[in-house]
């Protein structure tokens, strides 16, 4: 007869002590996690340029903290850029900075820095108490000419001064004008990340995708988290407008649309500390860009199976780093300029695999949420921004509401 093993009393105490010490370490040990992020791309296509001017970018924080640092990127620059001064502050909805929150940014203790081409820098930490949904203004003065602009899509309002150093300006509307980008909304020139110092028990969700993810649904997800008093998760946007899973873009939009998803995914999920969950919404551009009238050549047409294989690679990489990965179904786009019924068949086939394969750790049915019930190949009119592809703000809010919070409480 087997003798039943029982852990001695002292052994139980040791285990309890070890677990207590581990929990204490998690609370007291800190690291940097993303409070706002945009994927760096080459914005040269938009012919932006600045000289003896200040740029102010206003973004919404997805997480709170009392110590921050910012990332300024020249990763796609053709020459070094010189920063004469920079500042960080909280800002109200009218663009007025809160004076007691304004801090000068330094870099290795100095207020000026030169960023070499192909490089980026992190500022020294500043101490400004911020909360999720606070609006943050980062203002950078460029005394010398800047011809090639690196920046990020999504989640930013950008403004430029006429001439001179306006890093200490309190009134955005008075001293700045909106950056114009040929109708492309919300870009962030040079600013690509803001991080906060926080305990290791706090984690992040990466929202990975294309232009639909540069729009408002991640912002509404942050609001949903805050409204439900979820204070241990930030949202990190890793999205590029026009981006495809399987192909880079090799025409004049190459820099803007960025490298393929499959080539940037691993970096996107490992560059940020504390990532625990990944939401993927991508594939519509692979389906429609090589179509007649699209920006990609017909030689880059991909099959449903090729898209599925690439999504399986995303899953494999996420699991390699012990992350949970959730698949978003591809939303409808009937009446968009390159739409055909054959393209829609491919979209629905990919969605069927996402829903039924069991490969993702969970499914977010953005397609079902935003489709017109009377015509599932088309966005519901109130969720349509007007181009029949990109969701309106109401659509973005509905997408966030479709995300089941049980997905974020799994081991």
For 211-225, how does the pLDDT look when each residue is reduced to its tens digit (9 = 90+)?
999 999 999 999 999
At residue 249 the predicted structure's pLDDT band, cuts being 50, 70 and 90, is: confident
What does pLDDT average to over the chain?
92
Work out the average pLDDT over 21-50.
Answer: 81
Q: Are 44 and 76 in contact (CB under 8 A)?
A: yes
Q: Angle at which helices 341-356 and 304-320 pack, to 10 degrees?
A: 30
At residue 189 the predicted structure's pLDDT band, cuts being 50, 70 and 90, is: very high
pLDDT of residue 193: 97
At residue 153 the predicted structure's pLDDT band, cuts being 50, 70 and 90, is: confident
pLDDT(20) > 70: no
Where do runs of H (alpha helix) occur along 169-320? Answer: 172-175, 211-214, 217-227, 254-257, 261-270, 284-288, 304-320
For 43-61, how does the pLDDT look when each residue is reduced to its tens digit (9 = 90+)?
888 888 899 999 999 999 9
CA distance 65 to 231: 11
pLDDT(134) > 90: yes
CA distance 135 to 143: 26
395 contacts: CB under 8 Å, gap ≥ 6: 217, 370, 379, 380, 382, 383, 384, 385
At residue 242 the predicted structure's pLDDT band, cuts being 50, 70 and 90, is: very high
* Range from 72-81, 124-133, 149-158 carrying the lowest mean pLDDT: 149-158
**Range with top average pLDDT, 14-18, 79-83, 148-152:** 79-83
pLDDT of residue 186: 75
| Residue-wise DSSP of 156-173 | EEEEE-SSS--TT-SBHH
Work out the average pLDDT over 193-204.
Answer: 96
Work out the average pLDDT over 229-234.
Answer: 93
pLDDT of residue 155: 81
pLDDT of residue 343: 98
At residue 180 the predicted structure's pLDDT band, cuts being 50, 70 and 90, is: confident
CA distance 270 to 239: 15
Could you give the 3-state DSSP secondary structure of residue 397? helix
> What does DSSP assign to residue 147?
-
pLDDT of residue 223: 96
pLDDT of residue 270: 97
pLDDT of residue 16: 60
Structure tokens at 24: 């204490």
CA distance 89 to 86: 10
pLDDT(121) > 70: yes
Work out the average pLDDT over 156-171.
Answer: 95
Where do runs of H (alpha helix) occur along 229-338? Answer: 254-257, 261-270, 284-288, 304-320
> What does DSSP assign to residue 75?
T
Q: Are 130 and 157 in contact (CB under 8 A)?
A: no
CA distance 224 to 132: 11
pLDDT of residue 407: 95
At residue 23 the predicted structure's pLDDT band, cuts being 50, 70 and 90, is: low
Best CA proximity match to 190, nearest among 150, 159, 135: 150
What residues does each domain of the chain span? 32-191, 199-408
- Per the listing, tokens 């999720």 go with 132
pLDDT of residue 8: 66
Work out the average pLDDT over 378-387.
Answer: 97
At residue 409 the predicted structure's pLDDT band, cuts being 50, 70 and 90, is: confident
Work out the average pLDDT over 362-379.
Answer: 98
Could you give the 3-state DSSP secondary structure of residue 141? strand
For 88-102, how does the pLDDT look when each residue is reduced to its tens digit (9 = 90+)?
999 999 999 998 999
Work out the average pLDDT over 354-369.
Answer: 98
| Residue-wise DSSP of 324-381 | EEEEEPPPP-TTSTT--HHHHHHHHHHHHHHHHS--SSEEE-HHHHHEETTEEEEE-G
Work out the average pLDDT over 318-335.
Answer: 98
Work out the average pLDDT over 22-47.
Answer: 81
Q: Assign domain 199-408 one CATH number from 3.40.50.1110, 3.30.465.10, 3.40.640.10, 3.40.50.300.
A: 3.40.50.1110
Question: What percent of the chain has pLDDT above 70?
Answer: 90
pLDDT(235) > 90: yes
């Amino acid at each position: 007869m087997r003798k039943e093993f029982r852990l001695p009393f002292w052994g139980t105490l040791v285990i309890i002590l070890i677990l207590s010490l581990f929990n204490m370490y998690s609370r007291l040990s800190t690291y940097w996690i993303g409070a706002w992020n945009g994927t760096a791309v080459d914005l040269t296509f938009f012919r932006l340029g600045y000289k003896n001017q200040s740029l102010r970018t206003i973004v919404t924080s997805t997480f709170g903290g009392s110590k921050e640092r910012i990332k300024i990127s020249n990763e796609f620059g053709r020459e070094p850029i010189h920063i004469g001064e920079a500042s960080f502050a909280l800002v109200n909805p009218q663009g007025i900075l809160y004076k007691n929150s304004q801090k000068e940014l330094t870099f290795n203790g100095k207020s000026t820095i030169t960023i070499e081409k192909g490089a980026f820098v992190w500022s020294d930490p500043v101490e400004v108490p911020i909360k999720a949904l606070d609006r943050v203004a980062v203002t950078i003065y460029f005394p010398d000419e800047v011809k090639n602009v690196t920046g990020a899509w999504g989640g930013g309002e950008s403004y430029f001064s006429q001439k001179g150093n306006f890093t200490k300006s309190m009134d955005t509307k008075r001293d700045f004008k909106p950056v114009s980008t040929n109708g492309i909304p919300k870009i962030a020139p040079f600013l690509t990340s803001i991080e906060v110092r926080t305990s290791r028990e706090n984690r992040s969700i990466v929202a990975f995708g294309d232009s639909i993810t540069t729009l408002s649904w991640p912002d509404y997800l942050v609001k949903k988290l805050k409204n439900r008093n979820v204070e241990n998760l930030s949202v990190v946007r890793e999205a590029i407008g026009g981006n495809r899973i399987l192909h880079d873009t090799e025409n004049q939009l190459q820099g803007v649309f960025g490298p393929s998803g499959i080539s940037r995914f691993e970096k996107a999920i490992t560059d940020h500390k504390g990532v625990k969950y990944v939401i993927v919404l991508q594939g519509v551009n692979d389906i429609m860009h090589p179509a007649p009238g699209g920006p990609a050549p017909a030689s880059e047409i991909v099959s449903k199976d090729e898209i599925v294989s690439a999504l399986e690679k995303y899953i494999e990489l996420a699991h390699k780093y012990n992350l949970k990965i959730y698949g978003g179904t591809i939303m409808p786009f009937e009446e968009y300029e390159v739409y055909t019924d054959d393209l829609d068949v491919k979209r629905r086939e990919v969605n069927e695999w996402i829903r039924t394969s069991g490969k993702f750790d969970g499914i977010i049915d953005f397609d079902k949420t935003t489709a017109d019930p009377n015509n599932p190949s088309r966005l519901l009119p109130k969720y349509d921004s007007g181009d029949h592809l990109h969701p309106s703000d109401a659509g973005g809010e509905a997408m966030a509401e479709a995300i089941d919070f049980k997905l974020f409480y799994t081991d």
